[in-house]
Amino acid sequence: MHKTRSTVSVKELIRACIYFWRDNIGTEIDVVFEEGMKLRALEIKSGKTFSAEFTSNLEAWMRYSGSLPEDCALIYAGDREFEYKGIAIRRWNNPEIAQ
């Protein structure tokens, strides 16, 4: 089965209902927003070099919420864009942050 990602532009995100999420032990997601009937999660990191640890909060979010990796994205200060464990890793200056 082929999975597709929807694209969310910064302009669309600004118009969305945006939430912040934290569990009882301090795990946080920087941005949670509604897209149709789904919740999407974005984690933002200032580091220029990707670390697998950057996705740990998104992985916890997926366990708690039942979200899929394609509903999550990590935005960081690096230059590369790729997927890690199915999670979109995007540059901070990409106008389409989750695709």
Could you tell me if residue 16 is inside a domain? yes
The neighbouring-strand residues paired with 75 are: 44, 90
pTM: 0.80
Check if the beta carbon of residue 74 is closer than 8 Å to that of residue 47.
no
Identify the helix (H) or strand (E) that includes residue 76. strand 72-76
At 14-63, the pLDDT tens digits run 566 888 999 999 999 999 988 888 889 999 999 999 999 999 999 999 99
Q: Quote the CA–CA distance of 80 and 82 in Å, as a whole number.
A: 7
Could you tell me if residue 75 is inside a domain? no
Domains identified in the chain, total number: 1
Could you tell me if residue 59 is inside a domain? no
Q: Which domain holds residue 21?
A: 1-38
Could you tell me if residue 70 is inside a domain? no
